[in-house]
Structure formats: C-alpha cells, structure tokens
C-alpha cells in the first residue's frame, strides 16, 4: 500500500510539471514570434502628405516630416497609440541629448471636462523624472509655430489601442538637421497632468536621434523582444517552477521508504535541470543588460543575482556533502534546507518582478503562471496534510505498540513473582 501511495505521489508531481510547463512554453514561443513584428511608416496622414518618414524603434510609433531648408522649418507628424482610455501619448524634441529630461513635448489626451482631444505642451524637467512634482503644462521655449492632435480612423474616442497623430511645426536653428526625438505613453491623466509611464525596456528606450535630411536614425541599443521573452521564459520555468517542484519531490517522496534512492535521483535531476536553465536565463539577462545601457532594474537585477548565487552555492555544496555517519551531516542538512528554500522563494518573487519589468503585470501570461504555481502549491498543501496525517498515525501506532510492550513486560514480571 505504501509503495502504491509513493508511486501515486511521484506521478502527480510529474503531471503537474507537464500540465503547467508545456502550455506556458508554447505560449511564450508564440509571443516571442509575435513580439518581433516591426511597424511600417507612411508619409500620408489624414491632414497632409509629408516628404519623408521612419518607423521609430519602439511602441510601434512612426514619424513623418517635411523639412524646408530655406526657413529651417520642420513640419512633422508623430503617430502612436494609446494604452488606456484614460491615458496619454506624448512626443517631442530634446535640444541636448536623446533623453527624457530636458525634452519639450506635446502630450495628447482627452479633456477631463469635455472629452475632446487635447495637445498640450510640457517641459520635462529633472523634477518630473524624480516625481518630485506633478507635470504642469507651460509654453515651450522653442519656436513652436503650430500644433494639433487627431485620432486616426476608425477611432472616434480615446481607448486602448486607438491611434493618434500629433502634428507640429517647429522652426529649427539654421544648419541643424540632427534632432533628438523622445516619445512615450501612459495609463492615466490626473486632471491635466499626465502620470508616469510604464517602465519596461521599450518605454525606457523610446528616444532616437534622427537626421531629417537623410532619415539616418541612431536609436539606443536595446535587447530584442525575442531575447526578452527567452530570458523570461527560461527563468519562469527554472527559478519559478522547476526548483519548487524539485524541493517538493524531496519533501514528500523522501519519507516513502519504498522509493529507495529514487526520490534523491528525481530531486537531483529536476534541480540540476532547473539550475542549468536558470543559469542560461541569468546569462541572457547579463547580455540584455550590456545591450541596453542606461536601462536598469535594480530590484529585479538584485533578486536575480541573489537567486543565482544561492543556486550556485547549492550546486557547490553537493561536492562537500558529508556521509550520513559524519557528525557534521546535520549542519550540512540545515544549510542545504535554508539556502534551498531561500533560493526558491527569491526565484518565485523575482519571476513576479520580471512580469512587471516586461509590462505583463496584468497579462494572461502572469495569470497562467499564477495558475501553475497555485496548482503546485495546492498539491503541496494536500501532500503536507497527508504527510502530517501519516506522521500522526505512525506516532499513534508506535505509542500503542509501546503500551503493548509495557503491558507484556508488566505481565511477565507479575508472573515471575
């Protein structure tokens, strides 16, 4: 009976891995393929036709323009999309560098009073980046000759996915044809003040330097969508799922004496696979970091380093595992359990942090991972309850056996007298 119960436990854990991991891997691969699609630009807009256009490197945005060298006038139209019915889309120029701080932008959003589409000017000072004060519209200190914003058909109102065109006419400095453009979008507008935008990699890299004569574009290097999805999938599968499964195998199969050393080999195989995949995901994270200078996620990076360090220590500890008869074995076991469970907790927490970094905090991918993790947690709770029931039953049986032995001893002594 006990052998059958242990075999059932092992089969249940393997089914959890298959059911939760395979669909997630397929979905991640599909999303990675979809994420690599690039947008197209057009010189024709509902308002006018321009001379040149480019597809900007992030958010599916485009820019079309006509430059009149005689009077150094730039007539431009930026096209982007909203990500919320109460959101905003902004585009502008920075005289000094391809960065948000110091940029002069036009932000398009719905008037909270009338619902009409507005295009208000804003100066992005360092206080705005630090969120020390709300963003307040003010006249720009550049020669802005005209500006407007309009929704692109078939959109009639601001909604998630609605396309907007922000048009502006700017007089430039003579012979200055390389311009630093910035753009972004956010979820909310408080009154007439746009709030902070999401901070995933594409949002933080939404700036480029463009030569308006040749259309040559110098964009900030950023990790590709495929690399990001591969990094996220590997880490979610390894640190976020396989390592917890391996810990569960050791926790709930080890007491089954009928399994012999099979629990150890299953535990070691799952943990080794998880660590190998996690190390590959960690290495991809380092590659992404070097490919995206200026884009940093301190908490995510710190948790990743902590998980990788704990996993490496666990791997190295196997080389120094004392024999069961060694007096230091109990200390090694305490260390192994403490670091192992700590690695699992940090890994799972960092997976959730990774969802936020990738802008998937409210996505079906996060929901799917939560369901897989909840299934595993539910299985562990059931197995834990079963383990305690078995433990208490054994304790009761041993107590009854001791009483029977004591009764026999007492009877034998009485018979001897």
Binding-site residues for heme b, in ranges, read 231, 267, 300, 336
φ/ψ region of 371 (left if φ > 0, alpha if ψ in -120 to 50, else beta) reads alpha
Residue 46, both tokens: 């509902």
Residue 211, both tokens: 């030569």
Q: List, as one string, the DSSP characters of 328-377.
A: THHHHHHHHHHHHHHHHHHHHHHHHHHHHHTT-TTSHHHHHHHHHHHHHH
Residues contributing to the annotated binding site: 231, 267, 300, 336
Cα distance between residue 333 and residue 318, in whole Å? 11
Cα distance between residue 90 and residue 106, in whole Å? 5
Q: What is the DSSP letter of 44?
A: B
Cα distance between residue 20 and residue 165, in whole Å? 42
Question: What residues contact residue 232 under an 8 Å CB cut-off, 6+ apart?
Answer: 28, 281, 354, 355, 358
Cα distance between residue 338 and residue 391, in whole Å? 23
φ/ψ region of 22 (left if φ > 0, alpha if ψ in -120 to 50, else beta) reads alpha
Question: What residues contact residue 104 under an 8 Å CB cut-off, 6+ apart?
Answer: 92, 93, 94, 95, 121, 122, 123, 124, 140, 141, 142, 144
- Count of C-beta atoms within a 10 Å radius of residue 338: 11
């Amino acid at each position: 009976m006990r052998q059958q119960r242990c075999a059932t436990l092992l089969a249940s854990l393997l089914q959890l891995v298959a059911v939760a991991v395979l669909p997630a891997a397929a979905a991640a691969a599909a999303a990675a393929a979809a994420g690599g699609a690039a947008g197209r630009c057009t010189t024709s807009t509902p308002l006018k036709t321009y001379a040149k256009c480019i597809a900007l490197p992030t958010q599916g945005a485009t820019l079309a323009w006509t430059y009149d060298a005689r009077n150094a006038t730039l007539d431009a139209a930026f096209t982007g999309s909203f990500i919320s019915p109460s959101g905003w889309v902004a585009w502008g120029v920075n005289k000094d560098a391809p960065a948000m701080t110091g940029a002069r932008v036009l932000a398009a959003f719905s008037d909270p009073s009338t619902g009409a589409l507005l295009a208000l000017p804003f100066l992005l000072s360092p206080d705005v980046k630090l969120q020390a004060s709300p963003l307040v519209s003010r006249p720009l200190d550049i020669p802005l000759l005209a500006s407007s914003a309009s929704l692109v058909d078939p959109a009639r109102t601001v909604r998630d996915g609605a396309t907007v065109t922000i048009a502006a006419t700017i007089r430039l400095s003579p012979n200055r044809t390389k311009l630093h453009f910035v753009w972004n979008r956010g979820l909310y507008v408080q009154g007439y003040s746009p709030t902070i935008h999401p901070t995933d990699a594409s949002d933080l890299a939404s700036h480029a330097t463009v030569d308006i004569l040749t259309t040559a574009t110098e964009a900030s290097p950023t990790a590709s969508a495929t690399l990001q999805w591969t990094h996220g999938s590997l880490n979610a599968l390894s640190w976020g799922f396989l390592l917890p499964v391996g810990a569960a195998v050791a926790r709930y199969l080890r007491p089954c004496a009928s399994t012999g050393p099979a629990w150890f080999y299953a535990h070691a195989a799952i943990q080794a696979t998880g660590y190998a995949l996690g190390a590959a995901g960690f290495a991809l994270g380092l590659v992404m970091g070097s490919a995206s200078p200026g884009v940093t996620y301190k908490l995510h990076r710190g948790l990743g380093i902590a998980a990788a360090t704990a996993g490496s220590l666990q791997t190295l500890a196997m080389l120094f595992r004392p024999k069961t008869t060694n007096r230091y074995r109990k200390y090694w076991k305490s260390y192994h359990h403490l670091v192992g469970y700590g690695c699992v907790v940090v890994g799972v927490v960092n997976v959730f942090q990774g969802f936020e970094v990738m802008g998937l905090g409210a996505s079906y991918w996060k929901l799917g991972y939560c369901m897989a993790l909840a299934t595993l947690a539910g299985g562990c709770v059931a197995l834990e309850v079963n383990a305690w029931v078995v433990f208490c039953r054994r304790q009761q049986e041993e107590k009854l056996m001791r009483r029977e032995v004591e009764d026999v001893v007492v009877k034998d002594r009485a018979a001897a007298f």
